[in-house]
Amino acid sequence: MEKSIQTMAEMAARGEQPEILFWVGCAGAFDDRYKKVTRTFAQILQHIGVSFAVLGTEESCTGDPARRAGNEFTFQMLAQQNIAVLNGYGVQKIVTACPHCFNTLKNEYPELGGTYEVIHHSTYLQQLIDEGRVRLSDAGAWQGKKITFHDSCYLGRANQIFEAPRHILEKLDADLVEMKRCRTQGLCCGAGGGQMFKEPEKGRKDVNIERIEEALETGAQAIAVGCPFCMTMMADGIKNKEREHDVKVYDLSELVWEGLEK
CATH number of the domain enclosing 233: 3.40.50
Q: How far is CA 66 from CA 78, 82, 106, 115, 194, in A?
A: 9, 15, 17, 21, 7
- The sheet with strand 146-149 has its strands ordered as 175-176, 146-149, 222-225, 248-251
Boundary residue ending a domain (126, 145, 167): 126
Residue 191 belongs to a domain:
yes
Q: Tell me what pLDDT residue 197 has.
A: 62
Q: Tell me what pLDDT residue 208 has.
A: 86
Q: How many helices (H) and strands (E) does the chain have?
A: 11, 8
Residue 23 belongs to a domain:
yes
Residue 224 belongs to a domain:
yes
The verdict on 182 and 74 lying in the same domain is: no
Residue 41 belongs to a domain:
yes
* In contact, 149 and 176? CB cutoff 8 Å: yes
Give dist(CA 135, CA 150) in Å, integer.
Answer: 24
Task: Indicate the DSSP class of residue 260.
Answer: B
The verdict on 211 and 234 lying in the same domain is: yes
Residue 109 belongs to a domain:
yes
Residue 195 belongs to a domain:
yes
The verdict on 162 and 111 lying in the same domain is: no
Q: Tell me what pLDDT residue 207 has.
A: 82
Residue 2 belongs to a domain:
no
At residue 234, the 3 state secondary structure works out as helix
The verdict on 91 and 174 lying in the same domain is: no
At residue 84, the 3 state secondary structure works out as helix
Residue 131 belongs to a domain:
no
Task: Answer positive or negative: Cα dihedral of 114, 117, 122, 123.
Answer: positive
The verdict on 151 and 255 lying in the same domain is: yes
The verdict on 140 and 100 lying in the same domain is: no
Boundary residue ending a domain (93, 126, 159): 126
Contacts of 123 (CB under 8 A, 6+ apart): 161, 164
pLDDT tens-digit profile, the chain (262 residues): 457 899 999 999 999 999 999 999 999 999 999 999 999 999 999 999 999 999 999 999 999 999 998 999 999 999 999 999 999 999 999 999 999 999 999 999 999 999 999 999 999 999 999 999 999 887 678 888 999 999 999 999 999 999 999 999 999 999 999 999 999 999 898 876 666 666 777 777 888 899 999 999 999 999 999 999 999 999 999 999 999 999 999 999 999 999 998 7
Give dist(CA 219, CA 178) in Å, integer.
Answer: 10
Boundary residue ending a domain (65, 91, 126): 126
Q: Tell me what pLDDT residue 123 has.
A: 98
The verdict on 43 and 119 lying in the same domain is: yes
* In contact, 193 and 68? CB cutoff 8 Å: yes
The verdict on 121 and 171 lying in the same domain is: no
Q: Tell me what pLDDT residue 221 has.
A: 94
The verdict on 204 and 240 lying in the same domain is: yes
Q: What is the pTM of this model?
A: 0.93
At residue 60, the 3 state secondary structure works out as coil
Number of domains forming the structure of the chain: 2
The verdict on 189 and 111 lying in the same domain is: no
Q: What is the CATH number of the domain that holds 100?
A: 3.40.50.1860
Domain that holds residue 108: 8-126
The verdict on 30 and 96 lying in the same domain is: yes
Q: Tell me what pLDDT residue 1 has.
A: 41
The verdict on 117 and 147 lying in the same domain is: no
Q: Tell me what pLDDT residue 196 has.
A: 67
